[in-house]
Amino acid sequence: MFHVKQGKLKIAPSILSADFTRLGEQVQEAEAAGADYIHYDVMDGHFVPNISMGPYIAEAVKRSTSLPLDVHLMIEDPDRYIPDFVSAGADIITVHYEAVVHLHRTVMRIRDLGAKAGVAINPSTPPFMLDEILPFVNLILVMSVNPGFGGQHFIPTSLQKLKRLRMMIDDRRYDIELEVDGGIDPNTAEPVAASGARVLVAGSAIFGQGSIEENIRAIRESAERGLARQAF
pLDDT for 2-57, tens place per residue? Answer: 344 557 899 999 999 999 999 999 999 999 999 999 999 999 988 988 889 999 99
Taking the C-alpha atoms of residue 94 and residue 106, their distance in angstroms, rounded to an integer, is 10
Residue 232 in this model has a pLDDT that exceeds 70:
no
Q: Any known ligand binding at 144?
A: no
- What pLDDT score was predicted for residue 5? 52
Q: Any known ligand binding at 150?
A: yes
What is the bridge-based pairing of β-strands 38-43 and 10-13? unpaired
The average pLDDT across 179-197 equals: 97
Taking the C-alpha atoms of residue 139 and residue 134, their distance in angstroms, rounded to an integer, is 9
- What pLDDT score was predicted for residue 180? 98
What residues act catalytically?
A: 41, 181
Taking the C-alpha atoms of residue 198 and residue 6, their distance in angstroms, rounded to an integer, is 9
Domains detected in the chain: 10-231 (3.20.20.70)
How would you label 113-127 residue by residue, b for 16+ Cβ within 10 Å and e otherwise?
eebbbbbbbbeebeb
As a whole number, the mean pLDDT across the chain is 94
Q: Any known ligand binding at 158?
A: no
The average pLDDT across 205-227 equals: 96
Residue from 116, 120, 128, 176 nearest 144 by CA: 120
Q: Any known ligand binding at 39?
A: yes
| Predicted model pTM | 0.94
Residue 172 in this model has a pLDDT that exceeds 70:
yes
Residue from 131, 141, 177 nearest 41 by CA: 141
